[in-house]
Structure 1
């Protein structure tokens, strides 16, 4: 079954060979894009969808989220707005709530959050574990996450559980826990943050990442969120796909990113929700670093699943142009996941598309908080 999508006022392809197109159309065959070009040249198809002058963009790729959780931490948000500093300690509250939730309860929460994402134009999402912190609970959250996305990340090294010795917990994460979880994950991640008493220093993070790589998992890193640290350079050294947060960077960190294959994933919803300084995206872009945007949707530091909101924040607060921010939220997210079949509207790629109730992509930043984006299929 083929479908012609026509009446596209502006089509952002993110394809360097095509660029943006006006008065465009595309043909979808099953789950794949079969043709892209001017509406006047569109071939026939079995079905037809007329978007009546609206803009179409690649579906947003949210390459950093923590959707597999139960519970609520709105009180922490209120406390931060009153001046309390975030240090990662509240994660333990979510761990308790998640452990107490049944499989069916977590499955329902995941389904609701996935529907919320799609209603805002997100078509691909990465989901991390990290709210179990035992072998059985980490395995369970990964198994449930894998029911809704192929992009699952083992984050047993999210924080050190209260009352647990760091060395013994790292041994558990890299031993029995990794053995159980690796078959259900594509990636491994670690919260490398010496500024937090709950997270992992560079040596422990290296141990976790090298064990994950030996188990066949791709590497991701939470790095340099709360202060300067080794996370960014460790990620680049080990060839991680992405290092996420990148709020506090030295010149050496920027140089390392510019000279490596690791992308910098910025999460401006976190800075919004913690009242922290925003990353300097302009500095990174001018240095030649690949910059990505994602939500970090989680119960503690960013309870937003809206990629359009991240685009608006990036433009308003981080020095990105609307076009740069949209690329970072689509083709950039695909880079962060090392995917070539999403994030770009081109024949052979997945037909993951978002339609905007607007004539141009500029409205994503121009109309923040307005639900103008939705997935097309």
Structure 2
């Protein structure tokens, strides 16, 4: 059945073949969805007939957000750690051990319920595609369990056994486990492999260890992602580019060589400004990356320790206020940028043939996402053929 979505004050398409401006917007627009796929976009007056009709009453419509970095399978709470950081404690990744202990102790039902609640929270705020990592199990059985549960809510599952070295574990033995039996058990449940490459942290992995993890994952048929250069400048970004990783995530501390590598490769720089907000750390230099022509994505990094937000709209507002991105650049990074970071061509835009993942903003323009921070303006559009009341 086809559905006409009309009454759109501004339609963000990210479609180079139509629309105006950096986001290829269409004013006073409409679109047709047929069998879950965008079939047509254009001006409202030129809209074709359809089987059903939804009027969004003068609101803006954007592609659903693509959150390409999230840690959603976990148990427990680290609010006290957040409070300590707000009074001056530094973040070094060590608190992950507390979440690992709570996650191991939780039942499947408890983890599944918490995961479903977070995904529903994201969807209610306009996110329609989300990547979910493991990394809070750190045993073979628990990592498999986390990935199996993640696979119930998204095809974008990432094996992150190399999140940290568990307390008391021998580094060499744990690395052999991650690249051997754990990888073999987890690969059937994962699309991606990731590693926390941070030589300055006693809990994370240095460049040689990260390379071993990524090369083993690639040999097992997994795509590559890297937690890179979050706490200090290091080898993570250049390793990601060298190995053709889809995304280097964080990119907080970059050298000129890092930026040059990203500009010359195909790896997306995924920025996670909610982390800097939640850890009182310096923000990434988004303008430097954009000026160099580096593809940029925004994601939440939703997790219980360093950034417990599920709101992509909040990250858009942070990117504009704190990283000096324009509202258009931030929205593009949260949609098309996230899709590029996941190597997806069916989401992040509203070209004909795309998945009909629509987010409606209770305002006439995408600019309101940054203009009205903290206000719940955006939601996923339910395509049931009913008339939505007009905006007051």
Asked if these proteins are the same fold (TM beyond 0.5), I'd say yes
- Match of residue 14 from structure 1: 14
Does 2:179 match 1:174?
yes
Does 2:220 match 1:215?
yes
- Match of residue 202 from structure 1: 207
Q: Cα offset for 1:129?
A: 0.1
Q: Cα offset for 1:272?
A: 0.1
Q: What does the per-residue CA deviation read over 1:266-305, in whole Å, with 9 as the maximum and x for residues that have no partner?
A: 0000000000000000000001111110000000000000
User: Aligned to 1:7, what secondary structure does the other structure show?
Assistant: strand
Gaps of 5+ in 2: 19-23, 383-392
**Alpha-carbon distance in structure 2 between the residues aligned to 1:64 and 1:231:** 16
**Structure 2 length normalisation: TM-score?**
0.96
User: Aligned to 2:58, what secondary structure does the other structure show?
Assistant: coil
**Alpha-carbon distance in structure 1 between the residues aligned to 2:112 and 2:39:** 34
- Match of residue 309 from structure 1: 314
Q: Cα offset for 1:195?
A: 1.4
- Match of residue 120 from structure 2: 115
**Structure 1 length normalisation: TM-score?**
1.00
**Alpha-carbon distance in structure 2 between the residues aligned to 1:183 and 1:353:** 31
User: Aligned to 2:29, what secondary structure does the other structure show?
Assistant: strand
**Alpha-carbon distance in structure 2 between the residues aligned to 1:76 and 1:186:** 31
Q: Cα offset for 1:16?
A: 1.2
Gaps of 5+ in 1: none
- Among 337, 343, 348, which residue is 1:338 paired with? 343
Structure 1 moving runs of 4+ over 6 Å: none
Does 2:288 match 1:283?
yes
**Alpha-carbon distance in structure 1 between the residues aligned to 2:140 and 2:301:** 23
- Match of residue 368 from structure 1: 373
Does 2:34 match 1:29?
yes
Q: Cα offset for 1:165?
A: 1.1
User: Aligned to 1:176, what secondary structure does the other structure show?
Assistant: helix
- Among 241, 248, 251, which residue is 1:246 paired with? 251
Q: Cα offset for 1:30?
A: 1.7
**Alpha-carbon distance in structure 2 between the residues aligned to 1:146 and 1:47:** 33
Q: What does the per-residue CA deviation read over 1:169-210, in whole Å, with 9 as the maximum and x for residues that have no partner?
A: 010001000000000000000000011110000000000000
Q: Cα offset for 1:319?
A: 1.3
**Alpha-carbon distance in structure 2 between the residues aligned to 1:99 and 1:369:** 34
**Alpha-carbon distance in structure 2 between the residues aligned to 1:238 and 1:225:** 19
- Among 142, 145, 151, which residue is 1:146 paired with? 151
**Alpha-carbon distance in structure 2 between the residues aligned to 1:6 and 1:70:** 42
**RMSD value, Cα:** 0.5
